[in-house]
Chains A and B, each alone.
Chain A
Amino acid sequence: MFRKILVANRGEIARRVINTCREMGIATVVVYSVADREAVHVLKADQAIFLGNSEPSESYLNIEKIIAAAKETGAEAIHPGYGFLAESPEFAERCEDEGITFIGPPSRVIRELGDKTVARRTVSQGGVPVIPGMDRAESDPVLLERESARIGYPVLIKAAAGGGGKGMRVVTRPEDFHEAALSASSEAKSAFGNGAIYLERYLARPRHVEFQIVADRFGNAVHLFERECSIQRRHQKIIEETPSPAMTPKLRERMGEAAIAVAAASGYVNAGTVEFLLDAEGNFYFLEVNTRLQVEHPVTEMTTGVDIVRLQLEIAAGERLRLRQKHLRQRGHAIECRIYAEDPEKGFYPSPGKIVYLEEPSGAGIRNDSGIYAGYTVPVEYDPILSKLIVHAEDRDAAITRMIRALREYVILGVRTPIPFLIEVLQSAPFRAGETFTDFIDAHFSNWQPDRKDSDLARIAFIIDEIARQKRPLAVAAREEGYPTPWQTLGNRWR
């Protein structure tokens, strides 16, 4: 096993990796930028190396500086976390060239799975269903129109170089296709410098269901069951759970086998996630592979009892996978809520600032993976995730009520958070019924405002705070005088 590793990330995920390293007796090095001098990962690691300015290109995306930090500190391996360089084949390759172990798949696998159309080909050759569509991007309008007829309507136009919804169009009628293809292509060209588009069958109201896979370099692979992540805002997940409310044992077996087939077809090593779309009829289609530790990995850890980061480290160190599929079980139900610094009343707009007060929930079945502390200033430079609150309980209903209880106890003053929004989503009838589709927020919670039923209590609190504030100077004076301690009141008599 490694004696020392470098964690090339920040915030809650860097801390998550450090936690397992400490339990395994592995020393940790982190890297940080100007904005992160007092970030939680810097405070928790054994060593911290300053990289430079806050721009990601000067810090967490700077391959040269990170490699130099690893060499300087004698770190044998690098854990990339998620985001930043986690899915950069160039970074993984550079680590390989420098003799530093990259804690993730080989660079070749990251590269192949990172190209959406290549991934579709690889996976469908492995016998895994992909969304009916094209395997190659195209710019000839006549050919595209012929393809659209073959795939069938409604059809989804996607940019080959795409991302973030740019160059994406849903076309429901053949007569609209030509115009939509032209505008999607020109949007893609101006956004990515590449106007090539491809087509997929459009699935209405799908669920997002993904499988956690783990594979060693000796060809052993297991899956750690599914996660459902359909509750999304701006194409970003905010609530994840396992098991999926849509899953049956039979479907789980079929999807699990497909996930393992993806691992085999791509030569996968280390932990990864195979994402699928699941339609109302129980048909599932390969979407993509995330070749890294996933934000929502804790729900899987809660229900399987497996430490996924520990597995990543063992596999990267060349050990064999000891888990066997037939021994793995899901126990109970787990839910994760992502807590961002954002205002759910203003379209989830970022809300940076200083955390003036923090009270974290605790108790049975509650886990809080946090990157903040009281007094911490949330920087504007990076993704505004503060923490992930995870609960585990016997079944889905118990997990929902436990999460609501935990969210109500979670106090973060100084920045806005989606906590009141999450509470209402979890309380809502469609969520309770498991009717979680990717359009959930648009369908049930557009233009949401909180239910402010305790306004009376809030006015009372305001008034009491004013009364107390006026008395406060006196209170401070009293405290300075001090209360008598037992040492003073007992005098010498106790001897």
Chain B
Amino acid sequence: MTSKPFRKWMCLNCGYIYDEEVGDPEEGLVPGTRWEDIPDDWTCPDCGTSKAEFEMVEI
């Protein structure tokens, strides 16, 4: 079984990148936390924008 590749999501308001592989431990998101497992009320740690304002990106 192959695991799904990690993806990156970007805040369109400030450019903060959420990398699933790295997570954001300071925000309580351990490495490997998938985007869909982050609560919908989570906000961008840099600018406070809602999760809905993120887009998946290739960096």
Chain B binds chain A: no
List chain B positions with a Cβ less than 8 A from chain A: none
